[in-house]
Homo-oligomer: A and B are copies of this chain.
């Protein structure tokens, strides 16, 4: 089993790295340079036709893409500590909050990144496309609304899906980390969410330095 990844601030690969650190597990890494467009090379596209990191390749050659699906598989191999829940009800609620974090945080942050950020402007133009700037900017309100949803929930519990840290926290944290890097942060008035964010950022799994590559347009080009 090996993981195709790059130590990069892109939020999806980062979810898997946080997950592995929380599990205390190391998996052989195949460094896949985004800057050198290795994730768009024909041999990589056979592993993931979408040309995206991360990919987990099993010993039988099966390739699993999608950060959450990779972690779900790894949970079956390394069940402790459980990050997808310990029974059906808990698992369903964690799954619900994973989806809400995807749709209410990561999606608007992604739209702000793709449609408003100067780093992505050149990528879109190189593909013959354009940024939809006003649409991108409108996603700041969508993100604020998602943050408020979580803020209300975190008034009565410590973590996104309950009293324990789970995959829902990882998805939300990696999304908000990336948002912060691109100027789409948590509204100040969301005190509960900001307190949660400080808690999860203090965990040993969250110590990566994310500030580097957003200074390099070539890497920004590759992430988008």
Contacts and interface: CB of A to CB of B under 8 A. Distances in A.
Interface in A95-148: 95-96, 99-100, 107, 115, 129, 132, 134-135, 138
Interface string A74-90: 00110000000000110
Given A50-B149, A152-B49, A96 B76 contact: no
Interface string A49-71: 11000000010001011101110
Interface string A1-28: 0000000000000000000000000000
A199 to B, nearest CB: 22
Copies assembled: 2
For the complex, would chain A's binding face be called helix, strand, loop or mixed by DSSP majority?
helix
Interface residues of A, number: 33
- Cβ-closest 5 pairs across A and B: A76-B88, A73-B92, A132-B135, A135-B135, A69-B95
Interface of A: 49-50, 58, 62, 64-66, 68-70, 72-73, 76-77, 88-89, 91-93, 95-96, 99-100, 107, 115, 129, 132, 134-135, 138, 149, 152-153
